[in-house]
Amino acid sequence: MNDARRSGPLTCTLIGILLGLVWKWSFFRFADTVYIQIPIEHDFFPSPMRDAIVLRIAYLASAAGFLVALLFAHVRPTWDLFRTLACAIGTFASAVMLVHQGSYNDVTFLMVVWCGAFATWYSSRLRHDDSNHLQDKALRLSRIILSVMFLGGLVGKCTPEYWSGQVLYEIYFVDRDFWFFNWMRIRYDGEALRSIATVYSRLVIVVEIFGALNWFVGEFIGSRFAAWSAIAILLSIGVTSNFLLFSVLAPLIGLATIGVQNRPTARIG
């Protein structure tokens, strides 16, 4: 297996991570301005986890770490440790943003941490594992991560309010300025919109159930089918809900593209 093919899963994942971080830039710049002018106050957390400068450094360190790792993604023995260290730095910096009070509630950084951990692991094994064996493990691990992420979203929606459609109706259908919901409000009246919101909400739940089964789909139906279905679900979420969500979705899309590549014949015993 050539170097480009061998490093493909790492490259795809890093590109997805960087796209997510870049997509977050406009919001992050606005939030950074606010936090500089209005300091975060929360005595429970140590001052570094409330400091806007720490948040700024963490964001830039995360992007820089993953960018350096991408530049050295192709397999070269002399750069293996350096590339893995860059992945680890990017992941650690993203983990800081998970607990910092200026960014802890942003799911973007949760996805980056998971995908960054995958990239760090894969980079560390490039020169140690058989190519087919490593690719097979990468496929399975990527599907496990995707399943866990979908499952997390699903668990949060397992409430009567979500099943009835009330939550998404109030969040999106009432006055959200987005092409899909603007179009819906033009075509349908209030009562019809409420019924559509119920169908929409239940469809979201069903789709996320399917997404949570990604590992099983890959194992028993096919790796490519699991990958393309995950990519389709993730793209549909951003296109029909909010384009800003692509900062959350891009890392997972990058991870899912691993399954689009040819599945190796080696199996884990």
Amino acid at position 37, single letter: Q
Residue 157 burial (CB < 10 Å; 0-12/13-18/19+)?
A: middle
pLDDT for the residue 56: 92
- Residue 94 makes CB contacts below 8 A (sequence gap 6+) with 58, 62, 109, 112, 113, 116
For residue 266, the tally of other CB atoms under 10 A from its CB is: 14
pLDDT for the residue 267: 42
Cα–Cα distance, 233 to 238 (Å, whole number)? 9
**pTM confidence score:** 0.90
Low-confidence ranges of the chain (pLDDT < 70): 1-5, 75, 77, 262-269
pLDDT for the residue 47: 87
DSSP string of 91-148, one letter each residue = HHHHHHHHHSTTTTT-HHHHHHHHHHHHHHHHHHHTTTS-HHHHHHHHHHHHHHHHHH
pLDDT for the residue 264: 45
Q: Encoding tokens for residue 202?
A: 């239940």
